[in-house]
A = this chain, B = another copy of it.
Amino acid sequence: MAAQNTLSENGAKRGKAVLAPVTARGEATRRRILDAAEAVFGEQGYYEASVSEITRRAGVAQGTFYLYFPGKRDIFVELVEDLGKRLRVATSMAIAGATDRLEIERLGYEAFFHFVAAHRRVYSIVQEAERVAPEAAQSYYHHIADGYQRGLEQAMRDGSINILDAEATAYALMGIAHFAALRWLIWPQHESESPEIPSIPPQIFASIMEFIAHGFNPLSSTDHA
């Protein structure tokens, strides 16, 4: 993504003139501030985090921060958008080329779990956004759901999966992934300060895939496995 686009998009979205430099160096500074914000919001939460702590970590002056972002809430909202984009890119790359819908789920889930595990406390930023900036949280999920829905509709047209409401199925699949991530990736991190990246136990992952493939159906594992 070109720096020019990013900055003009941001300005346009807020209806404010943001005076950030559109040079490569300006874009690097902007990225450094966003990365620092990700760390600070992730560790301290939105309410405890301060712009001065973000600028301290980014190694920039407070005045520089305000060239790029109008305030704390704005950078928080932008961070949620940024995380959503990075997650969508990671999953799109993971599923590229796959055609079997269950294989697409497997690859997409793997990429999602890897993203969550690798970003540690960052994932809680999106959850906190439900309170702090509900429109950003909803937009984060809507964007993910949109892509999901298109893929599912294609698979329904192909006859490769059961015909269901595509949006309901998209949210169901996002819910399964979210709660598996909470239970097996996020909560264990609270309990230990281990730097090791947690992962979903293989038998849990296999059960989730089998549930997506056949649900409760007791006949399916012998009939169609």
Chain B nearest Cβ from A105, distance in angstroms: 8
Q: Contacts A179-B178, A180-B172 hold; do A138 and B217 have CB atoms under 8 A apart?
A: no
* Contact for A176 among B145, B164, B172, CB less than 8 A: B172
Copies of this chain assembled into the complex:
2
* Contact for A217 among B167, B206, B220, CB less than 8 A: B220
| B180 & A178 in contact (Cβ 8 Å cutoff) | no
Which residues of chain A in 139-173 are interfacial with respect to chain B, using CB atoms and an 8 Å cutoff?
A: 141, 145, 155, 159-165, 167-169, 171-172
| A131 & B138 in contact (Cβ 8 Å cutoff) | no
Number of interface residues of A (CB under 8 A): 57
Contacts of A179 in B (CB 8 A): 171-172, 174-175, 178
Contacts of A169 in B (CB 8 A): 207, 211
| A162 & B130 in contact (Cβ 8 Å cutoff) | no
Contacts of A134 in B (CB 8 A): 187, 190
A174-209 contact mask (Cβ, 8 Å, vs B): 1 or 0:
111111101100010010000000000001101110
Chain B nearest Cβ from A14, distance in angstroms: 20
| B128 & A172 in contact (Cβ 8 Å cutoff) | no
A119 on the interface (CB 8 Å rule)? no
A210 on the interface (CB 8 Å rule)? yes
Contacts of A210 in B (CB 8 A): 162, 164
With A and B bound together, what is the CA distance between A155 and B172 in angstroms? 22
Q: Is the contact region of chain A dominated by helix, strand, or loop, or is it mixed?
A: helix
Q: Contacts A47-B47, A175-B178, A176-B176 hold; do A217 and B213 have CB atoms under 8 A apart?
A: yes
With A and B bound together, what is the CA distance between A165 and B211 in angstroms? 10
Interface centre among A102, A124, A216 (most CB of B within 10 A): A216
A215 on the interface (CB 8 Å rule)? yes
| A218 & B160 in contact (Cβ 8 Å cutoff) | yes
A36 on the interface (CB 8 Å rule)? no
| A214 & B211 in contact (Cβ 8 Å cutoff) | no
A78-101 contact mask (Cβ, 8 Å, vs B): 1 or 0:
000000000000000000000001
* Contact for A175 among B164, B180, B204, B221, CB less than 8 A: B180
Which residues of chain A in 120-137 are interfacial with respect to chain B, using CB atoms and an 8 Å cutoff?
A: 124, 127-128, 130-131, 134-135
